[in-house]
Amino acid sequence: MSKFIDRMAANNAQNGFYGQDILSVSQFGRADLDYIFTVAHEMRVLVERFGSADLLHGKLLANLFYEPSTRTSASFMAAMQRLGGQVIPINGVQYSSVSKGESLPDTVRTLESYADLIVLRHPEVGSAAIAAQYCAKPIINAGDGVGEHPTQALLDLFTIVEELGDVTGKKIIMVGDLKFGRTVHSLTKLLVNYDVEFTFVSPDILRMPQDVLDVVKAAGKQATITEDVHNCIADADVLYVTRVQKERFADLAVYDNLKDRYVVDPALMGHAKPNMIVMHPLPRVNEISYAVDSDPRAAYFRQMRNGMYVRMALLAAVLGKA
Amino acid sequence: MSKFIDRMAANNAQNGFYGQDILSVSQFGRADLDYIFTVAHEMRVLVERFGSADLLHGKLLANLFYEPSTRTSASFMAAMQRLGGQVIPINGVQYSSVSKGESLPDTVRTLESYADLIVLRHPEVGSAAIAAQYCAKPIINAGDGVGEHPTQALLDLFTIVEELGDVTGKKIIMVGDLKFGRTVHSLTKLLVNYDVEFTFVSPDILRMPQDVLDVVKAAGKQATITEDVHNCIADADVLYVTRVQKERFADLAVYDNLKDRYVVDPALMGHAKPNMIVMHPLPRVNEISYAVDSDPRAAYFRQMRNGMYVRMALLAAVLGKA
Amino acid sequence: MSKFIDRMAANNAQNGFYGQDILSVSQFGRADLDYIFTVAHEMRVLVERFGSADLLHGKLLANLFYEPSTRTSASFMAAMQRLGGQVIPINGVQYSSVSKGESLPDTVRTLESYADLIVLRHPEVGSAAIAAQYCAKPIINAGDGVGEHPTQALLDLFTIVEELGDVTGKKIIMVGDLKFGRTVHSLTKLLVNYDVEFTFVSPDILRMPQDVLDVVKAAGKQATITEDVHNCIADADVLYVTRVQKERFADLAVYDNLKDRYVVDPALMGHAKPNMIVMHPLPRVNEISYAVDSDPRAAYFRQMRNGMYVRMALLAAVLGKA
């Protein structure tokens, strides 16, 4: 493993994340993304060859989840443990005295007494930034309500890099609920760092918000807005799917009319390029048919695994061991 | 510890469990049982001498419990940790987004992205088999409703082996609720691999089901059915006790008449052989009196400990390290 | 680290805690306190220099919490993990089959089959002592209702030692709810081992109970009882704050009249000595103003950290590795 350790040491020399909080995708410029993805790729190779390493042996992560999120929580736990670190899982804080009256700042100041860094999931926008103000140890934002979930956006982008080799020149379709879907907003803000073309596919009432469209425009990228995925599927390199929720529609007739146009099934896949990829942040309900799972272009479970690699890279970077 | 490691390596050469799922006792023939019990005994010696080992260092277990079972969950965690591995505990899934709409196959495919194997407790019969179909990593069934709980049956049988030296020629009494008690069904199916005699003691309405009796008959083993434990206690090598639940009786007068005949107390133990053993899957309520706990023949807490050894053996075998 | 290991070995020779239960502050004489605090200080140095050690590598702690207490639970987990040990967290037992009918003795006898020691939090007074009767492995009481919480009292006293260098000759003010506050009772009982002066500040209806005052008197220590913290703040070396709860007052006018007299704010701190310390068991609500947090005399977050060091010392001592 000495070759890996050497490469990690070389990576670390470029590491600007040591001791820093990870709060927002807006912290990540192109050089930061390149750095994190280089380390994440090393983590992938490390796990595929050796399963785990002892890079973070003796380090402790407090995994503080004010709302349940099995997927994200388990991904951070696995990332820390595969690097030899240990985890204090704090789930279901709502049942505990910590939540009865104690302020978030006091809770994080208590936990930083015990742990080397804190991963925080909290239902309120801005909570991670508030926690970070009071905490001397690094905070990683694992989702603050309708605010940010930066590690999700990073793993989405990393998946494109790993699957397609490069982001440059790619045609990205985002389909489904683009209004309320936090993941597509954050991913779009990261993708404008690259030379890409966007197509935003949604029912009119679930259109991509103007502020995100403004970011795309300011970066000089091209974006097409449409209601029909069939028009654009043939050119896509990436089809990023999110769920259209029935409860968003006042008029259910509108929903019933639209819903089948946004289901990814083998028929739709038949129109796509052989080397495109289908992504989804999961959990899915029925917006991607199970028959697509065996298609090699179905990247969503590999995307989950990439989440672990990206979180391994961030944990190592923040603790100065990448 | 090198002697242990050598013996482990020798054991491993006979290991047919590497990468396999553990779903049902019906997977285990006599040679498999001999193999697992040999390894489980090694694990016992290892824990008694050294406390733990680093055999599974760097390996991750996802402990996925859809319903609470502190005993089984803690036993698997301890087994993994005593072998140097780490655990992602996923309890109370009912409170989490994972359970809201996401299918079991999607959940296990997500978790196999993070972990090296999955232990699954789920309330529905057949769920472990379904999970295993979708999961490339090994699944260990830790109870699927009224279906199977194979590690319980294995630890029960291992306890007989460890306590009595051998199973051959032993007289096994099972007493209590033989109709609904999953553990006695599974244990009986394993015991027919050996030359044993059964006595099934229960109220008539809680008799051993016909399909289990058919297995006994097909294997050419002798089984006596009775309502009175006093008639057979003197000859018993093993007295396996399960709880008779009041709520199973429509006529409470029947229950009141019967209940004391199935309580194991010092008076009953006075009629038993000096080297017989009393077993119970726990938790007990009042079917074994606390006064029996100090009797050296009370094997039920040692049985708990054997559960850890058997699970250590299975984890090591499935991960190719036994 | 060899110097540390040598010092640990030397400490261990004086260790009377090996294999013992930690149930009550009444177990701790002056020599025991000196021993535990010496080891806790070593743990502090160890964490500050190395982060963690492998002293308890391969050891398992069952962290059994019948009621939630994120702070105490996380502190014990961190203490065990920083010493290289592993933890089986058992939270929310109320939702599990363990609690439905199974007795505490049976539960701890099951858990001692898996783990090397048990930390127990239970809502009933005396539960830790009952558990210890049935358990061959050490039990550490992490709070038994209105009974004892000995590790809290030890960390409080250790904080005075670490912050002020010595306890001898110190003037200790305890302020707030002295009637129902378990922590101030236990701390007082430990402090009478030293040459100290007490001032107990509370509303009359929340006075320090007579049995605690009797302990102070029997030890020949001086205690002043008052309702006003302003009278005594100038001389204090330690100001130990607990919360006055509105719900303790039948007449809310009495509460409204008193409540501001017990809030520690910068104005009050202006009257205190430059090297005094403010302590609080946390969580706080509003009895210490946030503006005090940046005052170097605010010791309550360092107190949290000391909790981890004291628990590391106890875990190591009980497992014979201090």
Architecture of domain A151-300: 3-Layer(aba) Sandwich (3.40)
Angle, CA B159 vertex, CA B156 and CA B165 arms, to 5° = 140
Contact C92 B92 (CB under 8 A): yes
Chains with 3 or more CB pairs under 8 A to chain A: B, C
Handedness of CA B1, B2, B4, B9 (dihedral sign): positive
pLDDT the model gives residue A91 = 83
> Given A95, A114, A116, which is nearest C74 (Cβ)?
A114
- Do the chains contact at A97 and C70, CB–CB below 8 Å? yes
Q: What is the strand order of the sheet A277-279 is part of?
A: A222-226, A197-201, A171-175, A238-241, A277-279
Q: Output the pLDDT for position A286.
A: 86
Look up tokens 């819903």; give the residue. Answer: A259
Q: How many CB pairs under 8 A join B and C?
A: 74
What is the rounded distance in angstroms from the CA atom of residue C190 to the CA atom of residue C207? 19
The B-side interface with A (CB below 8 A) comprises: 57-60, 62, 86, 88-90, 92-93, 95-98, 100-102, 106-107, 109-111, 113-116
Which secondary-structure segment (H or E) carries C182?
helix C182-191
**Mean pLDDT over residues C187-200, rounded?**
97
Statement: residue C13 has pLDDT above 60 = no
- HSE-CB at A54 with a 13 A cutoff on CA atoms is 8
Is residue B75 within 8 Å of residue B140, measured between CB atoms? no
pLDDT at B15 (0 to 100)? 77
Tell me which chain B residues have a C-beta less than 8 angstroms from the C-beta of C95.
Answer: 68, 92
Residues of chain B with pLDDT under 70: 1-14, 92-101
> Is the bond leading into B281 cis (omega within 30 degrees of zero)?
no
Partnered with residue C88 across adjacent β-strands are: C62
Smallest CA-to-CA distance from A188 within A174, A207, A201 is with A174
* Chain C CB contacts of A114 below 8 Å: 74-75, 77-78, 304-305, 308
- Which carries the bigger pLDDT value, residue A12 or residue A123? A123
- Output phi, psi for B14, to 5 deg: -95, 5
Is the alpha carbon torsion for B45, B49, B51, B54 positive or negative?
negative
β-partners of residue B117 are: B61
* C-alpha to C-alpha distance for B61 and B311, rounded to whole angstroms: 12
Separation between Cα atoms, residue A263 and residue A244, nearest integer Å: 10
Backbone angles phi, psi at A319, to 5 degrees: -90, 10
Spell out which residues of chain A touch residue C66, defining contact as CB-CB under 8 Å: none
Please compute the mean of the pLDDT values over residues C12-24 and round it to a whole number: 86
Could you tell me the fold of the domain covering B2-148+307-318?
Answer: Rossmann fold (3.40.50)
pLDDT greater at residue C81 or residue C99: C81
For an interface test with C, the pick among A57, A60, A110 (most C C-beta atoms closer than 10 Å) comes out as A110
Q: What one-letter code names the amino acid at B279?
A: M
Task: Encode pLDDT of C219-243 as tens digits.
Answer: 999 999 999 999 999 999 999 999 8
Name the burial class of residue C295, with classes exposed (0-12), middle (13-18) and buried (19+) by CB atoms within 10 angstroms of its CB. middle
Give pLDDT, residue B3.
Answer: 54
Q: List residues of chain A with CB under 8 Å from any CB of chain B.
A: 50-53, 68-71, 74-75, 77-78, 81-82, 84, 86, 89, 91-92, 282-285, 301-302, 304-305, 307-308
Q: Which helix (H) or strand (E) holds C33?
A: helix C30-50
Q: Which residue has the higher pLDDT, C1 or A45?
A: A45
The verdict on domain A2-148+305-318 having CATH code 3.40.50.1370 is yes
CA B34 – CA B14 distance, rounded (Å)? 10
* Residue C115's pLDDT band (cuts 50, 70, 90): very high
Quote the pLDDT of residue B305.
Answer: 98
A89 neighbourhood in chain B, CB within 8 Å = 89
Greater confidence (C229 vs C3) lies with C229
CATH number of C151-303: 3.40.50.1370
Q: CB contacts < 8 Å between A and C, how many?
A: 75
Classify each residue of B215-242 as buried b or exposed e, where b means 16 or more C-beta atoms within 10 Å of its C-beta.
Answer: bbeeeebebeeeeebeebbeebbbbbbb
Rounded CA gap, C76 and C22, in Å?
14
Spell out the residues 6+ positions from residue A98 whose beta carbon is closer than 8 angstroms to its own: A90, A107, C70, C71, C283
In chain C, % of residues over pLDDT 70: 93
Per DSSP bridges, beta strands C238-241 and C86-90 are unpaired
Enumerate the β-bridge partners of residue C2.
none
- B interface with C, Cβ–Cβ < 8 A, is 50-53, 68-71, 74-75, 77-78, 81-82, 84, 86, 89, 91-92, 282-285, 301-302, 304-305, 307-308
Per-residue pLDDT at C97: 46
Topology of domain B151-304, CATH: Rossmann fold (3.40.50)
Q: What is the largest CA-CA distance in chain B?
A: 62
pLDDT for A2 equals 52
Classified as helix, coil or strand, B279 is strand
Binding-site residues on chain C for chain A (CB distance < 8 A): 50-53, 68-71, 74-75, 77-78, 81-82, 84, 86, 89, 91-92, 282-285, 290, 301-302, 304-305, 307-308
- C-alpha span between B132 and B143 (Å, rounded): 14
pLDDT digits (tens, 9 = 90+) for A69-115: 889 999 999 999 999 999 999 986 654 544 456 889 999 999 999 99
C contacts of A90 (beta carbons < 8 Å): 70, 74
For chain C, the structural domain boundaries read: 2-150+305-318, 151-303
Tens-place pLDDT, residues C161-186? 999 999 999 999 999 999 988 899 99
| SS3 annotation, C284-296 | CCCCECHHHCCCC
Closest to A238 in 3D by CA, of A301, A163, A179, A302:
A163
H or E segment at C301?
helix C300-318
CA distance C55 to C147: 32
A52 phi-psi bin (left φ>0, alpha ψ -120 to 50, beta other): beta
Residue B259 and residue B229: Cα distance in Å, rounded? 12
Beta bridge partner(s), residue A264: A288
Burial of A6 from C-beta contacts in 10 A (0-12 / 13-18 / 19+): exposed
Which member of A58, A90, A105 has the closest CB to residue C70?
A90
Q: Where are the alpha helices (DSSP H) in chain B?
A: 2-13, 30-50, 70-82, 104-114, 127-134, 150-164, 182-191, 210-218, 252-258, 266-269, 300-318
Nearest chain C Cα to A95, which residue? C68
Per-residue confidence (pLDDT) for residue A247, from 0 to 100: 77
| pLDDT single digits (tens) C308-319 | 999 999 999 999
The yes/no answer to whether this complex scores an ipTM above 0.85 is yes
Q: Strand B86-90 relative to strand B60-65: parallel, antiparallel, unpaired?
A: parallel
- DSSP lists the bridge partners of residue C86 as C60
User: How many other C-beta atoms are found inside a 10 Å radius of the C-beta of residue A175?
Assistant: 27
Partners of residue B52 in chain C, C-beta under 8 Å: 57-60
Strands in chain C per DSSP E: 60-65, 86-90, 117-122, 139-144, 171-175, 197-201, 222-226, 238-241, 277-279
pLDDT on residue C98: 46
CATH no. for C2-150+305-318: 3.40.50.1370
Report which of C1, C5, C3 is spatially closest to residue C316, judged by C-alpha positions.
Answer: C5
Confidence tier at A14 by pLDDT (50, 70, 90): low
Decide if A2-148+305-318 and A151-300 have a common fold.
Answer: yes
pLDDT of residue C33: 96
Q: What is the DSSP letter of B15?
A: -
> How many other C-beta atoms lie within 10 A of the C-beta of residue C3?
7
Residue A89 DSSP class:
E
* 3-state secondary structure (DSSP) of residue B65: strand
C234 phi/psi in degrees, rounded to 5: -65, -30
pLDDT per position as a tens digit, A294-309: 999 999 999 999 999 9
pLDDT at A98: 46
- Cβ-in-10-Å burial (0-12, 13-18, 19+) of A104 comes to buried
- The answer to whether residue C95 scores a pLDDT higher than 60 is no
Q: Which of A88, A96, A106 sits opposite C69 (nearest CB)?
A: A96
Report the alpha-carbon distance of residue B66 to residue B141 in Å, rounded: 12
Looking at residues A172-179, what average pLDDT do you find? 96
Share of chain A above pLDDT 70, in %: 93
Beta bridge partners of B250: none
